[in-house]
A and B are shown apart, each in its own frame.
Chain A
Amino acid sequence: MHLAKPSWLGHFDDKNQRTSIFSVHVHPDGSRLATGGLDNKIKLWSTASIIDANKADDPSVPRLLCTLGLHNGSVLCVRWSNKDGRYLASGSDDQLILIWEWDRSWSGGSVFGSGEHNIENWKPVKRLSGHQSDVVDLAWSRNNTHLASCGLDSLVFIWDGKTFEKLHKLDQHLGFVKGVTWDPVGEYLATESDDKTVKIWRTTDWTVQAEISEPYASSPTTTFYRRLSWSPDGSHVATANGAQGAVAIAAIFNRGEWRTDISLVGHDSAIEVVAFNPVIFMIPDSDDADPNSETMGSVCAVGSQDHSISVWVTRNARPLFVCQKPFDHSVLDLAWSPDGTQLYACSYDGTVVVLLFLNKEFGTRVSEEEHEKLLSKYGFTVKEPIILESTTQLNLESDYAIAKRKEKSDRMANMMAPTDSTTVDMDISTSETSINLASGSNTTDFGSSTILPHPLPSVETQQSTNDDDNEASKNTNGVSSTSSSSTTTNAVIPQQNVTVTKDGKRRIQPQFLRGSLTSSTPQLQPSISSTSEQIVVTESSTPSNGPTNVPTILNNHSKSSSEDVLSSEMDAPSRALPPGGISTLVIGNKRSASSASDLTTQSSNKRQNISRSQSEVELQPSVLRSSLVSPSVAMSQVRLATHKVLNYLAKDRLDGATLKLECYNFNENTPSQIMCTRGRTTIWFDYVPSAVILITGHSQYSAVACEDGSIYIYSSAGRRLLPVIMLESSASFLEICRDYLLVLTQVGLLSIWDLRNLKAIVHSVSIAPILSSASLNSDDFTSSVSIISAHVRSNGIPLLITSTNDAWCYHFDMHVWTRVYDPRYTSKDSTGSEIGEVNDGGILATLENYARQGGARNLGSLSHLRRLGGNDTPGQPNHLIGYLENQLISAELVNSPVEYKKLLFQYAQKIADEEAEYRLHELCIQLLGPTNNTDDFGGRAKSNWDPFLMGMSKRQLLEEVLTVLSSNRSLQRHVTEYKNALNKCWNMIGCDPND
């Protein structure tokens, strides 16, 4: 046995005084030692230089690897995660636990503002708050699935070892909890507290299995810690700060009976810490006659307030050895190296001692397998790896790995997309920023002219600023006497997105460089989406094209949302609708008297005004008058607001270019004029007798709706496709997509016609169900739900969005309205929405974005259900699964194959994660279809199973779904079964799936 006490190892305060070290721990690979000190810092040391004095003096071998100085209080505990040692957890006076990870992307260097030089760059990746007082001790479970922490708030917290979510709070201790340890088998957790008990918690339900109090009854509460330790074979727990009368003992009790069998006696004052050697040894029986006999045993180290350390071996009544007073103060922590040959100890006096044992000093090591076998005798298995049953699973798994890797690289590409963007659009100032940054990064040296006098103009356009900057830098060159370099080396200040907040402060959106280590990808999404939001804001605040006239607004609108619109196959709304949408009335529900009278006054006017906000928006095309309301509206239960008659209506970019539809309304008795122009050439024009209130169209068809309820439909040449169509009331919405024309009338009847075949797709369907079902949610009559937009999808399905952000589709076959999007599942916090990220650009994603932005009226949000999954109701059907299923059907209904596919894979992944076998069967059978040979032999399946879904082969989808499902081996039997069935199908129709 050797002892080393390096004098250079320590924590020092501002005056270079040595401060206490509260905790030590060795990295599982044995190469690093972490110490936590009174100076609020964690230091990582190279063990090589501690153990070997020669290396310590070698300047090429670093002693200090990293200083982690972000705690605001003394670091009371440091613990590496087991096995790979990927994380370091630290607990501190500042009531926080930090999780650190090595950031290899950054090759060390000096820490900003500290003057310390780091060789390894460990960064905080998680900040676990919850303790209301000092965090005193931490412990990782053997397989790193959990982290336990305890503190002076008498609480014990259990955190997830991967996501670091708070899982459980154990609050049955009545005093400071000063030590925590896991059962290596994973069945129990032990904690020791100043309430003079040790509690054994069952990890299955977190109730107290046992409570031991007898050895601690007379223990002093003056110890810093009560760090206890579970023996590596799981059979015993050694505890600190026990007392037999006035004698300090370390009480060891056994598993199962929880009876104190053994006490380690000998220390003069209270015991702070006990630590079992992680290795089990075959220890020679010294007193036996047979020299070759040996017994399996463990080694335990004890550190005490008497400044001494003792090391004990099972079955020996005396300590194997005692290290008398290597310190000037209490021993506060002990840590064994993973190979069990080194014991590190730290003390309140601020020094660290390492005891080096010879290879066989304790006995021969018991192999890892033997060790596992020992543990397995307790019959509590955490989770065993699943054995492969066939090669199909392996093939699928490798497919899955490839797909995953590709996905990752795609993600990386996406992440880098804003920086690589070559299209420097005027609006996209963030991408501009990054480009300029790259070019400006080498201009920090003092000699070159990096002087940039111009302030950042906040409301000028990009173009002019660049000019300004260039000019300015030229000027500077002229003035600056030291400068000799040319203008090209000038650092150009990147254009930053500056907006003005409500309280008049300027606001900059930071440029997102990269995510944090563990979870970089999801966070990127919000920054992108919010960028686009911001663009809109800046645009409208620009004085040059401010919100003065409607055509500009329309332009802006279509420009900023054109991508959304294109990708979601929606026609842009024909006009900028008011934020509240079109107001509606529903009569016939239970209503209070006041609201009923309110209604009569409105209808007695025989006019219903469109909501006020709309008239505010559309100032420029002046309102001629309110339009006439047909008597049928007064009779109707459902009433939608009427558009006022404007003197001018226009719809731009019908074909995405210059095709424009315009309409001039004149006073009564003068026919209205409709004009279709391309650039300056008029393609056609027409006169209609009644005032036009709505126009729509694209390159093939145009349609106008008139005040009197008539609708005119024109071909691209201006030919009237049909004689006048007459509706029972005038239209509130008129939309066209491909061959489908949607009309929603004031009485709430919806029709869709196929213009090519001149057929009705949907005929006068009432939208009352949508309105009443939605309005039941609010008692307030005036805030009755309104229709924000009505669209028709490219397959002819109508899609209505209400002001509560519900989206509704009409199911043709079922003849009912179905809600395809429920805003209550929208997570406000866009970072948490994994769905939104994946479905970027699709119709459902658009809806989600919509709901997130305008979620003012969101009813009780259910988004937490979606995010939490089934965490709080274990064993219950997972909410996320339900949500995905709903989204899947919705995607199918609104005919969004891309989203469907993405959702399907997400769904499959979720099924795999949750091992939802029944769902797996349903999904696979659905996709596989009938496989019965006799059925298929005639070349005609008897069932009406459609092998295609939105143009995608279901079996092809299944092929990919199975790949995803293979990620969980415990489902392999089912996966293989379906894979085989699928292969049979492919063979039968004689086609290779990979073609």
Chain B
Amino acid sequence: MSIVNITNIRVLNNPTLFTEDYQFEITFECISPLPDDLEWKIIYVGSSESDQYDQVLDCIMVGPVPSGINQFIFQAPAPNPDRIPPSEILDVTVIIITCSYNDQEFVRVGYYVNNEYIEEELRENPPERVVLDKLYRNILADKPRVTRRPIKWQCG
């Protein structure tokens, strides 16, 4: 099993405007001290059809990690809408938080994200061009999907 386990992730600003930063308060437990840093990434899945639209919103190293329960806030800018196929900006997509150690990904947490208008009028007659500053996103924060995979923790 993994030396690092995510015990909780709180989505701090949710729901919010599409253009706002993502903020996750990540709590994880480490059962023995790690010599190297953990690398965390937030990936926005731009399209359900191809991974070429996946955007890495941010990538950050976390360390030093003492054993015990640790917490940090991972903040990342909103995805660049120009790189998302216009037809796929609205509706449900996925945002993924991954964590790697020594370039080996050992955990991946996926959330469904719903991008929608709040105003009734826009909802019923969505304009041709997406009105970004009226678009809201809602992360389905209570339904994370966690995938763990075993990696080599010890070097050598």
Contacts and interface: CB of A to CB of B under 8 A. Distances in A.
A513 B65 CA distance: 11
Contacts of B21: 452-455
A125 B29 CA distance: 10
B33 A513 contact: no
A107 interface: no
Nearest to A72: B150
A721 to B, nearest CB: 49
Interface residues of A, number: 52
Interface stretch (A332-340, A516-524, A765-773, A895-903): A516-524
A831 interface: yes
Nearest to A126: B31
A493 B75 contact: yes
B23 A98 contact: no
B20 A510 contact: no
Interface size class of B (residues with CB under 8 A): 35 or more
B1 A72 contact: yes
Contacts of A491: 12-13
B53 to A, nearest CB: 23
B151 to A, nearest CB: 10
A450 interface: yes
A127 B32 contact: yes
A507 interface: yes
A512 B73 contact: no
Given A127-B3, A505-B59, A496 B72 contact: yes
Given A444-B10, A505-B60, A510 B75 contact: no
A451 B69 CA distance: 27
A507 B20 CA distance: 22
Interface string B115-152: 00000000000000000000000000000111011100
B13 A450 contact: yes
A50 to B, nearest CB: 27
A343 B73 CA distance: 49
A71 B149 CA distance: 10
Given A446-B15, A451-B16, A514 B68 contact: yes
A530 interface: yes
Nearest to B142: A110
A5 to B, nearest CB: 31
Nearest to B5: A70
Contact of A514 (B2, B12, B69): B69
A510 B62 contact: yes
A71 B150 CA distance: 9
Given A113-B109, A455-B21, A508-B60, A520 B68 contact: yes
A509 B37 CA distance: 9
Interface in A924-976: none
B68 A451 contact: no
A98 B1 contact: yes
A640 to B, nearest CB: 37
A452 B23 contact: yes
Contacts of A526: 33, 64, 66
A510 B75 CA distance: 13
B60 A512 contact: no
Given A71-B1, A508-B60, A124 B31 contact: yes
A17 interface: no
B63 A509 contact: yes
Contacts of B37: 501, 507
Contacts of A96: 1
A523 B64 CA distance: 12
B67 A112 contact: no
Contact of A70 (B2, B67, B71): B2
B27 interface: yes
Contacts of A124: 1, 5, 31
B7 interface: yes
B147 to A, nearest CB: 9
A73 to B, nearest CB: 8
A515 interface: yes
B102 interface: no
A44 B69 CA distance: 24
Given A450-B12, A526-B64, A508 B72 contact: yes
A934 to B, nearest CB: 58
B62 A508 contact: yes
B13 A516 contact: no
A728 interface: no
Contacts of B74: 508
Nearest to A125: B31
Interface in A483-509: 491, 493-494, 496, 501, 505-509
B71 A509 contact: no
B55 interface: no
A423 interface: no
B61 A507 contact: yes
Q: Which of A451, A454, A456, A526 has the most CB of B within 10 A?
A: A451
A831 B67 CA distance: 9
B66 A527 contact: yes
A98 B9 CA distance: 24
A114 B62 contact: no
Nearest to A92: B1
B56 interface: no
Interface string A434-468: 00010000001010001111111000000000000
Contacts of A446: 14-15
B8 interface: yes
B70 interface: yes
A450 B33 contact: no
B42 to A, nearest CB: 13
A777 interface: no
Contacts of A494: 73
A889 to B, nearest CB: 31
B71 A513 contact: yes
A94 interface: yes
A202 interface: no
Contacts of B65: 510
Interface in B1-50: 1-3, 5-10, 12-17, 20-21, 23, 27-29, 31-33, 37, 39
A530 B68 contact: no
B13 A451 contact: yes
B77 interface: yes
Given A124-B31, A452-B21, A511 B61 contact: no
Contact of B63 (A507, A515, A520): A507
B148 A72 contact: yes
A72 B146 CA distance: 13
A829 interface: yes
A474 interface: no
A515 B67 contact: yes
B12 A444 contact: yes
Interface in A255-291: none
Nearest to A501: B61
A288 to B, nearest CB: 55
Contact of B69 (A71, A113, A513): A513
Contacts of B10: 444
Interface in B55-105: 59-75, 77
Contacts of B75: 455-456, 493
B68 A523 contact: yes
Contacts of A125: 31
B66 A512 contact: yes
Given A127-B3, A505-B60, A526-B66, 17 more contacts: A72-B150, A112-B9, A113-B145, A124-B5, A124-B31, A127-B31, A450-B13, A491-B13, A493-B23, A496-B73, A507-B60, A508-B72, A509-B62, A509-B72, A511-B70, A520-B68, A523-B68
8 contacts: A72-B150, A94-B150, A124-B1, A444-B12, A452-B13, A510-B65, A516-B68, A526-B33
Interface of B: 1-3, 5-10, 12-17, 20-21, 23, 27-29, 31-33, 37, 39, 59-75, 77, 109, 144-146, 148-150, 154
Q: Which 8 A-B pairs have the closest CB atoms?
A: A113-B146, A515-B68, A510-B70, A507-B61, A513-B69, A510-B72, A70-B1, A72-B150
